[in-house]
Amino acid sequence: MALWIRNPLAILADQAAAGIVVDGGRITELVPVGGTPADPDATVFDASRHVVIPGLINTHHHFFQTLTRAHPAAINKELFPWLQALYPIWAQNVKPDAFRLATRLALTELMMSGCSCASDHQYLYPGGLEDAMDIQVEEAEKLGIRMTLTRGSMNLSVKDGGLPPDSVVQDEDTILSDCERVINRYHDTSHGSQFRVALAPCAPFTVSRRLMTESAALAERHDCRLHTHLAETLDEDAYCVANYGMRPVDYLEDVGWLNHRVWLAHGIHFNDEEVQRLGRHRVGVCHCPTSNMTLASGQCRTKELEAAGSPVGLGVDGSASNDNSNLMESLRHALMINRLTYDAASVTHQDCYRWATEGSARCLGREDIGKIAVGMQADLAFYSLDELRFSGAGDPLAGLVLCGAHTAERVMIGGCWTVEDGLPVAIDIDRLRHEHGAAARAFLETI
C-alpha cells in the first residue's frame, strides 16, 4: 500500500514540501506545497516533526576496529605507528565471533545515525576469518541495511617489506579465488539490490603489484567496483617513491586503476596535476574528515576534486581512528575541516549532504539511491529537532549539521522501517553493548 510521508518540517528535495509517496520500496511521487497524492487511498505518516533527507551512504569503514576504539596502545599516534601498534593486537584477537559482533555494532551504529547503505573495507584475514564476507551478509540481512561488500586484501607482510604481521595476510591466489567466490555469490547490480561487491587491495604498502592488476582485471570481467587507500599520508607518498619509483597516482595508473570503477579512501596528498588527472578519469574519493583529523593525516582537496570531475563521497573510516561509526556526525566534521581548508562561504551544509548521499552513491556506482526523486529507492532518514541543541535553529536542514545531529529518529530502507523512535527494530542494543564490550576486553589484555 502506498504511504504518504506528509508535510515534513523540511526535506532535502525540490518540489516536495508536502512530502513524498512511497510504494513498492520506491519513491513514486513528490508532493508540492499545498498538494495531495494522486492516490487518495495512500496511508499517511505525519512527518511534521521531522527533517527528511536521503539515507546517508558510508563509503569507507573498518568494522572490526570497533573492538579497539581509544585503545591505549594506539592513541596519540599518526598512521604508520598507529598501525604498527594495532596490527599485532588485531592479529591475535580478531576471530569470527568477535568479528561478527564488531560488524553488528558498526552497522547498527551507522544505521542509527541515519545511514542506509555502508561499505566496509575488510582487509584483515587472520586464520579462521576466511568467511568474513559471509558473516557481514548475515548481519546486514538481519538489520535490513544495504552494503557494498568490499572484499579487501593484504599479501605483503613485514618480511616482504610491508607493515602487517605474517598472520593476517593471504597469498595472491587465495585472495583472488575468494574474490571471485564472493562476486559470484553476492554481487547484484539490479535496481534496489541489497548487496553489491567491490574488490579492495588494502594499500600500496600492504599489497603486491600483481594483486592490484589482477583485481582490476577481475573487476572488469564482473562489472564491479575497485577500492583502496591512497595518498592518505606523506609517509605513504614516500613509500611509493622509494618502492615503486613513482608517486601514488602514477602507480595507480601503472597498475590499471585510473578509471571510473575506482574510488579511493582519503586521497589527501594530491598535487594539482594529479587532481586533474583523477577527475578526467572519474576516479572517486571518499573523504574521511574525522579520521584525517584524529591521525593528523591532512586535509582532502574536496572542492578541487569535485570541480575536476571526481565523485566525492563521505566515510567514517575505521572505528579505531574515528572513534565511532556515526556518519551524521561526520557531516559536521566535514563542514568544519573544509571551512578551515577553504572558507566559510564556499563550503556549505548542502555540500556535506551531497558528499554523504549523491557523491557516495556515485563512488559505489549506484544510481538507485542517494537522492529523493521519483523512481529512486525509498531510503530515508528522519530527524527531529526536539533536543535542546536544536532550540532556536532557524533553518532545519542547516541546523542538523551545524547544531550537531547524531541520531535519526527513524530510518527507512527500501520502504521498510529499520529504525523507529531512535532504536533499530531488529537489534537489542543493550545486549549488543554487553556482548561487544565483553569481546573488546580481550583486545585490552593484549598489550
Conformation bin of residue 282: beta by default, left when phi > 0, alpha when psi is -120 to 50: left
Q: Are residues 139 and 184 in the same domain?
A: yes
pTM passes above 0.85? yes
316 in Cβ contact with 290 (< 8 Å): yes
Q: Are residues 225 and 205 in the same domain?
A: yes
Q: Are residues 69 and 127 in the same domain?
A: yes
Q: What is the pLDDT of residue 380?
A: 99
Q: What is the pLDDT of residue 446?
A: 65
Cα–Cα nearest to 284, from 340, 237, 230: 230
Which residue range is the domain that position 21 belongs to? 3-54+375-422
> In the block, which residue shows the cell 593471504?
170
Cα distances (Å, whole numbers) of residue 246 to 161, 214, 242, 283, 324: 17, 20, 8, 19, 35
For residue range 365-418, what is the model confidence (pLDDT) as tens digits?
Answer: 999 999 999 999 999 999 999 999 999 999 999 999 999 999 999 999 999 999
Residue 427 belongs to some domain of the structure: no
Q: What is the pLDDT of residue 447?
A: 55
Do the bridges between strand 26-31 and strand 19-23 make them parallel or antiparallel, or are there none, so unpaired?
antiparallel
Residue 399 belongs to some domain of the structure: yes
State the total domains in the chain: 2
Q: Are residues 259 and 379 in the same domain?
A: no
How would you class 34 by CB atoms within 10 Å of its CB: exposed for 0-12, middle for 13-18, buried for 19 or more?
exposed
From the CB of residue 349, how many other CB atoms can be counted at a distance below 10 Å?
18
Q: Are residues 203 and 241 in the same domain?
A: yes
Residue 431 belongs to some domain of the structure: no
Q: Are residues 174 and 27 in the same domain?
A: no
Residue 368 belongs to some domain of the structure: no
Fill in the DSSP letter of residue 377: B
For residue range 407-427, what is the model confidence (pLDDT) as tens digits?
Answer: 999 999 999 999 999 999 999
Amino acid at 106: A
Q: Which residues of the chain have pLDDT under 50?
A: none
Q: Are residues 359 and 382 in the same domain?
A: no
Q: Are residues 256 and 383 in the same domain?
A: no
Residue 407: CATH number of its domain? 2.30.40.10
Residue 217 belongs to some domain of the structure: yes
Grid cell, residue 419, equals: 529504525
Residue 213 belongs to some domain of the structure: yes
Q: Are residues 217 and 329 in the same domain?
A: yes
Q: Are residues 342 and 394 in the same domain?
A: no
- Write the CB contacts of 52 (distance below 8 Å, at least 6 apart in sequence): 5, 8, 10, 11, 12, 20, 372, 380, 381, 382
Residue 196 belongs to some domain of the structure: yes
Q: Are residues 330 and 415 in the same domain?
A: no
Residue 165 belongs to some domain of the structure: yes
Q: Are residues 412 and 275 in the same domain?
A: no
Residue 347: CATH number of its domain? 3.20.20.140
409 in Cβ contact with 50 (< 8 Å): yes
